[in-house]
Chains A and B, each alone.
Chain A
């Protein structure tokens, strides 16, 4: 289970897909001297949910954070390779990470609403990007985002209450609403339900299913059941290598690589 597949490993299964939103090719990530992601190529298809699974420390969160250049904030992190959003390399010198992050949103593991009111939490993104011309349009954006996140009915009469006063599940849905308020094209989710109870988890999973119709979603998850429930394609990472990619049903019923099978059947991880 600790076997390192090496830098020349070729992923099992088809990394490419028909209508890709984002395409990663030969991505290598280094934390100082540590080689964290080894030659990973992967497509994320339009309006699909791609689940990334694997044992702790396998690099799935690192890879996810490359997709919206959040790894730029870590000084010792170095990213090599090509990642394209709509045929433009996001690591190009001319690409503005601020614009990129408006198009590729992120939901984090621990809900992190701003210490402001619920309204201001949602309105912050549209405000700084100038997405609303006046207060009415802003109200509209806030209402739509909260509705899409399934939170509107619960908070519509207390929009001025602090966002941090909500329950854990509500906070995470608030964060999802905040992400979709800037109308991104891709939503990245880094273990969004790991801090939530089962009922809140179910609500968020329902939400992900609905969001799929309008957005492209990549989700990192520790729970294989969640990956099976929520995603159409699944990618299995192991110690920095992308071991296998395929349709979710195939991966979970008939995995090709031995490591994938061992992980899924619970022999480790």
Chain B
């Protein structure tokens, strides 16, 4: 009787002790959860700050200011037998003089003419080449405005600063007001941002060359690194004997993944350009350098994918009389392929954003033409961002941010593709 009473007391005491510790334990758990949540919020808010900063700076670059002028395609300047040789520079200037007849004197006239982009004459020439019947006519044409006018229209250059500290003078603002009152100032979507190559003039500068350069570079990287990486991973995982040599190879591959990328650029300069004599600044060389850089990533991801194929499937294949090669190609590779693809896409996304190694092999040059192939000199998106960020003109600020937005857009797309692939193929056996 007293035995069971003792037991009861002991149990009650134990329950009390547990209850007492409960409060402390629940509090610790709540704090831990809050800590984790706080860490996530901190990380996400930095990402949000980054995005908001870039987007708010860059979105305006996607619209370009145009000014409508009544352009007379005077036969005096254009010979219909030699259309390309006409003096098209006079056309927008005459149109401006007619709109502002009161402007006189060389300096004021030069300021007036500079309101229109220097590319306008080529746009007009192309229009006449396409349609020679324009000669002799007068038409209202939307011409691209100069970058300083563009900044003024977008409200980045304002009037509150004293005139001698400004780029846009009071006179230019007056002209701009008059043009705007007549409905001759309009912003259109800036398609040329995507189709033009680099330029000294901000209003003409575009990322077309950089996009094509990035495309060719990534193409070369993919074509080289995927087969080599997969083959190396298959060899190391399936065929290599366990000995010292294999160990050394494995250690070195893991180390290569940690080498700073600029070292690969130095290697590319010394070996590919100096020793092999490949063309400088070409996507071919860039692709070779980036291949070396992404190979460790692909090999490591591929090996993990191969390891995850269950040994039961390998044994089943061998048991039916498949040779080792057949077992690997018919059974192991197809099952490991999703993991390999995911690793490759992630490696490509890393390569897309690399600039340091490419600087070393010369892809930092000022290149205006859109490259036609992998051996033409070109630049890549991140390097273009770097070059523009160095330029003094204010209009390049928004273009730099816009280029970053495009680059980030591609990266996000590639990573989403990798995640989708991974989810879709997660458990197929």
Contacts and interface: CB of A to CB of B under 8 A. Distances in A.
Interface of A: 68, 70, 73, 75, 98-99, 101-102, 105-108, 110, 112-115, 124-125, 128-129, 164, 175, 178-179, 182
Given A75-B242, A182-B320, 15 more contacts: A68-B319, A70-B318, A102-B320, A105-B320, A108-B315, A110-B312, A112-B310, A112-B313, A114-B313, A115-B429, A124-B330, A125-B320, A128-B330, A129-B321, A179-B320
Contacts, number: 64
B312 A112 contact: yes
Q: Which 7 A-B pairs have the closest CB atoms?
A: A102-B321, A112-B312, A106-B319, A115-B429, A125-B320, A101-B321, A112-B316
Nearest to A103: B321
A175 B313 CA distance: 11
Given A75-B242, A164-B429, A115 B319 contact: no
A101 B314 CA distance: 14
Interface of B: 241-242, 310, 312-323, 326, 330-331, 335, 428-429
Contacts of A107: 319
The winner among B313, B322, B326, B428 for most chain A CB atoms within 10 A is B322
Contact of A115 (B314, B315, B326, B428): B428
B336 to A, nearest CB: 12
Contact of A98 (B312, B321, B330, B429): B321
B321 A182 contact: yes
B330 A108 contact: no
A73 B315 contact: yes
Nearest to A69: B318
16 contacts: A98-B321, A101-B318, A105-B319, A105-B321, A106-B315, A108-B312, A108-B316, A114-B313, A114-B331, A115-B313, A115-B428, A124-B317, A124-B330, A175-B316, A178-B316, A182-B320
Contacts of B335: 115
A125 B321 contact: yes
Contacts of A179: 319-320
Contacts of B314: 73
Contact of B319 (A75, A108, A113, A128): A108
A162 B428 CA distance: 10
Given A112-B312, A115-B335, A73 B318 contact: yes
Contacts of B313: 112, 114-115
